[in-house]
Amino acid sequence: MTEEASDFDLVHKFVGGDETSFNKIVLRYQQKIYWHARRMTGNHLDADEIVQEVLMVLYEKLKDFKFQSSLYTWIYRITATRSINYLRRRNLRQIFSFEEKGGRLIKSKEDIVSNIESKEKLEKLESVLKKIPPKQREVFLLRNFEELSYEEISEITGKSVGGLKANYFHALKKIMELMKEDEI
Amino acid sequence: MKSEDRIILYLDNQMNEAERASFEKELESSPQLKTELENYRKFLNKIDDAKDIVADEEYFVEMIPKFHGRLQLKQRIKFMPKLAFGMTTVAAVLVILFFALNKGTNKTVVQNKAAVQTTNYPGSSDLNILSDQYNLGALTPAEIAYSNSVLDSLLYKELNLSPQNLSDYTFGNTQDLNSIVQGLNQKEADEIYNQLLHKKIF
C-alpha cells in the first residue's frame, strides 16, 4: 500500500466516523506542520497556535476533501495559508502596539528546543528568515527544507512557477547577503 | 548577469544544459568564481544544518490531546447560541408579562383619574396635562393634600402674601382676601391655579 493510498484509507475511515484515523493523519503530518509554521513565525508559541488552527481546519474540512490533490499537498496548503494569515494578524497587532516587534518574547521553558546546539542553529536560521518577506520565506522553506519542486509549491501556494522561481531567487540572494554580513 | 545571480541559478538547477555546461567550464578557469560558489554552498549547508533540530518529543505527543481539548471547547461554544436563544426567549416572555401586568395597573390608574376628575370645564386642560404627566390620578389623599398645599403656596407667593397677613388686605366691598380665597368655588380656584401653572411651569 502506498503512502497516498494510506492517506486515502485514513480519510475515508475518518469520514466514516473513525476518530482514531484522524489522530493517525495528525501523527503522520504533525512534524511537517509544526516546523513549517515554526520557521515561518520564528517562535514556538505562534507555531503552536498555527498548528492548532490547522488541525481544526483539517478536522472540519476533511469530510469535503476529494483527493483532487494529495493529502500532503492539501495539508501544506492549509498550513502555508494559515501561517501567512497569522503573520498578517501579528503584523497588525504590532502596528497597533499590542505586541513586541518580531513576535512574542518567549521564555526558554516555553520552547520545545532545549538542546543548546540545536537552539543555536535554529536561532541563527530564524534571525535570517525573519528578515526576508513572508512570501519569499514561504517559497524558500518549501523549496529548501521540504525539497518540493516548483510545480508542487505552485499547487500549494497557487502562484505561478515563474513567480515562485523569482521569489526563491530573491530569497536566496538576500539570505546569502545576510549570512555574509553575519560572517563579517 | 552578475556572478552571484548565476551561482544561485546554478545551485537551484535553474540553468538549461548549455548554460550549465558554460558555467561549469567558467568555474574551471576562474578560481574567484569557484571560491564564491563554495561560499554559497557553505552557507546553504549551514541552513541545511537547521533541518536536524532536536525538539522535545513530548510536545508532539501532547499535540493531539491538546487539539481534542480545544475541539471539545469549540463544540461547547458552538452550543452557546442555542442557550442564548433560549435565554432570549425567556427574557422576551418576561418582558411581555411585565408589560401585560403593567397595562392592567395603568387601567386602574385611569379609572382612579376619572374618579378624581369628575368635572370638565374651560381651563381645566392644563391641570389634566399636569395630571397626565405626573400621574396625579394615582396619588393618595395625602399626596393630593400635599400638592394642593404646594399650589396654595404658589398662589400666596404670586400675590406676595402669606397666610398670616391675608386678613390685612381688604377690598372695596370690605371683604378681606382670606374670605375671598375661601369664598372661591372649585372652578374659580382651578382657573387661578391653571393661570399660575402656565406662568410658573408651562
Q: What is the DSSP string of A101-147?
A: TTS----GGG-S---HHHHHHHHHHHHHHTTS-HHHHHHHHHHHTS-
Residue of A nearest to B47 (CA): A125
Percent of chain A residues past pLDDT 90, beyond the cut: 68
Residue A183 pairs in a beta bridge with: none
Cβ distance B54 to A179 less than 8 Å, yes or no, reads no
Placement of cell 502506498 in the chain: A2
A121 contacts in B (CB within 8 Å)? 49-50, 53
CB B112 within 8 A of CB B138: yes
Which of A32, A35, A135, A63 lies closest to B50 in space, CA to CA? A35
Instruction: Give the residues of chain B that fall short of pLDDT 50.
Output: 107-123
3-class DSSP state of B64: helix
Domain ranges in chain B?
3-49, 54-116, 125-200
Cβ distance B74 to A56 less than 8 Å, yes or no, reads yes
B35 contacts in A (CB within 8 Å)? none
- Helix (H) / strand (E) element for B174: namely none
**C-alpha cell read off for A20:** 482514531
| Averaged pLDDT of chain A | 88
Cβ distance A172 to B55 less than 8 Å, yes or no, reads no
The predicted pLDDT at position A142 comes to: 95
User: CA A118, CA A85: separation in Å to the nearest integer?
Assistant: 28
The predicted pLDDT at position B152 comes to: 72
Placement of cell 515554526 in the chain: A38
Cβ distance A179 to B60 less than 8 Å, yes or no, reads no
Domain ranges in chain A?
1-111, 131-184
Q: Return the CA Rg of chain B.
A: 49
User: CA A112, CA A90: separation in Å to the nearest integer?
Assistant: 21
Residue B185 one-letter amino acid: N
The predicted pLDDT at position A108 comes to: 52
Q: B25-48 burial string, b = 16+ CB within 10 Å, else e?
A: eeeeeeeebeebbebbeebbebbe
The predicted pLDDT at position A86 comes to: 95
Question: Which of A121, A127, A164, A168 to mutate: most B Cβ within 10 Å?
Answer: A121
Instruction: Give the residues of chain A that fall short of pLDDT 70.
Output: 1-5, 97-109, 183-184
Question: Which of A33, A44, A112, A113 to mutate: most B Cβ within 10 Å?
Answer: A112
The predicted pLDDT at position B106 comes to: 53
Rounded to the nearest 10 degrees, what angle do helices A44-61 and A71-95 cross at?
A: 130
A145 contacts in B (CB within 8 Å)? 51
Looking at the complex, report in whole angstroms how far the Cα of residue A24 sits from the nearest Cα belonging to chain B. 10
Q: Which of A34, A56, A144 sits opposite B47 (nearest CB)?
A: A144
Looking at the complex, report in whole angstroms how far the Cα of residue B86 sits from the nearest Cα belonging to chain A. 27
Residue B176 pairs in a beta bridge with: B170
- Does residue B56 belong to the interface with chain A, where contact is any CB pair within 8 Å? yes
Which of B16, B19, B18 lies closest to B1 in space, CA to CA? B19
Looking at the complex, report in whole angstroms how far the Cα of residue B17 sits from the nearest Cα belonging to chain A. 18
Looking at the complex, report in whole angstroms how far the Cα of residue A8 sits from the nearest Cα belonging to chain B. 20
Asked if the domains at A1-111 and A131-184 fall in one CATH topology, the answer is no
User: CA A11, CA B91: separation in Å to the nearest integer?
Assistant: 45
Task: For chains A and B, count residue pairs whose Cβ atoms are closer than 8 Å.
Answer: 81
Cβ distance A169 to B71 less than 8 Å, yes or no, reads no
Q: Which CATH class is domain A131-184?
A: mainly alpha
Question: Which of B44, B46, B48, B63 to mutate: most A Cβ within 10 Å?
Answer: B63
User: Predicted ipTM?
Assistant: 0.84
The predicted pLDDT at position A97 comes to: 66
Placement of cell 368655588 in the chain: B185
Q: Which CATH class is domain A1-111?
A: mainly alpha
**C-alpha cell read off for B130:** 399636569
**C-alpha cell read off for A76:** 501544506
Residue B174 one-letter amino acid: T
Which of A1, A36, A12 lies closest to A140 in space, CA to CA? A36
The predicted pLDDT at position B115 comes to: 47
User: CA B6, CA B23: separation in Å to the nearest integer?
Assistant: 8
Residue A145 one-letter amino acid: F
Which of A113, A3, A21 lies closest to A63 in space, CA to CA? A21
